[in-house]
Amino acid sequence: MKVLVTGGAGFIGSHFVDALIAQGYEVAIIDDLSTGKRQNLNLAARFYHLDIGDPALAGVFESERPDVVAHYAARASVRLSVEEPGRDAEVNILGSLNLIEGCRRFGVKKIVYISSGGAVYGEPLHLPCAEAHPINPICPYGVSKHAFEHYLYLYRQVYGLNYTVLRYANIYGPRQDPCGEAGVVAIFTIQMLEGRPVTINGSGEQQRDFVYVDDAVRCNLAALERGDGQTYNVGCGQGATVNQIFARLKALTGYEGEPHFGPPRPGETFIIYLDATKARRELGWEPRVGLEKGLSRTVDYFRSRGGQ
């Protein structure tokens, strides 16, 4: 089977590429390197330096003829989506439409789409959020990620293009960008290892569902051949506060400082964690790496690299 991975030089996408190649899949990567990094690229995969919105994308499909597309590429910053909702829609909706048209034209059998369980539901009416929870995003990023889910349904009904949607919680681990807008674990870890001030946006009592990257990749592998036409939450089912993350990382890094508190960021959900019962039942997936072990592995990774 040949898999085309968009965003395959990014944090999660590159881990998925590595897993695919280790299992004998043939892999091609599309990434514009706006946030992905060349050092994340697996040399056993063919690489196309390209934006998913570029018309030249059709040439990649014509050349590669993938069986499955795993779609990670996105503008993933809540803050930037609030500041530039048009640009967010341009990449996450129009770029994804360019991609799905390539899938339709060149006989792709399935798309595995990485959506956002942390953003599409908005402020939860109940916790943990199952897939049937109302969709009421409070940021343009959540709107754009959910919008493409509807296109996937449409293309399956009209053209027979199969799909599985994975709504991620907060994924963390090695290769996460400590210089980006998101990724509190990586950001805090680097700041602590370098002895720099750490700022928590808001009170720090906001809760997130943290999933270690290896667990997310296992779910993605399961979705290649299962879960057709379905949507799954990928989460641990419980929240940890940002203050708790700070305290655990402080202990793991030996950091001696205390956090500074800044204003909350607009568009961010205060508390969110996900019910992944459906993924457990239908994909045979559940998280295996607990938060303490995952944080320890992440700190060890960044420490071994002397930072980034």
Q: Which tens digits make up the pLDDT trace of 124-141?
A: 999 999 999 999 999 999
Q: Which tens digits make up the pLDDT trace of 163-188?
A: 999 999 999 999 998 876 568 999 99
pLDDT at position 141? 94
SS3 sequence of the chain: CEEEEECCCCHHHHHHHHHHHHCCCEEEEEECCCCCCHHHCCCCCEEEECCCCCCCHHHHHHHHCCCEEEECCCCCCHHHHHHCHHHHHHHHHHHHHHHHHHHHHCCCCEEEEEEECCCCCCCCCCCCECCCCCCCCCCHHHHHHHHHHHHHHHHHHHHCCEEEEEEECEEECCCCCCCCCCCHHHHHHHHHHCCCCCEEECCCCCEECEEEHHHHHHHHHHHCCCCCCEEEEECCCCCEEHHHHHHHHHHHHCCCCCCEEECCCCCCCCECCECCHHHHHHCCCCCCCCHHHHHHHHHHHHHHCCCC
Q: Give the global pTM.
A: 0.96
The mean pLDDT value for 90-114 works out to 97
The mean pLDDT value for 206-215 works out to 98
The mean pLDDT value for 253-268 works out to 94
Same topology for domains 2-171+212-234 and 173-208+238-304, yes or no? no
Q: Which tens digits make up the pLDDT trace of 34-92?
A: 999 999 999 999 999 999 999 999 999 999 999 999 999 998 888 888 889 999 999 99
Residues with a catalytic annotation lie at: 141
The mean pLDDT value for 266-272 works out to 94
| pLDDT mean across residues, the chain | 96
pLDDT at position 96? 98
pLDDT at 99 over 70: yes
Tell me which architecture the domain covering 2-171+212-234 has in CATH: 3-Layer(aba) Sandwich (3.40)
pLDDT at position 181? 57
pLDDT at position 81? 87
The mean pLDDT value for 108-115 works out to 98
The domain ranges of the chain are: 2-171+212-234, 173-208+238-304
pLDDT at 32 over 90: yes
The fold of the 173-208+238-304 domain, in CATH, is UDP-galactose 4-epimerase; domain 1 (3.90.25)
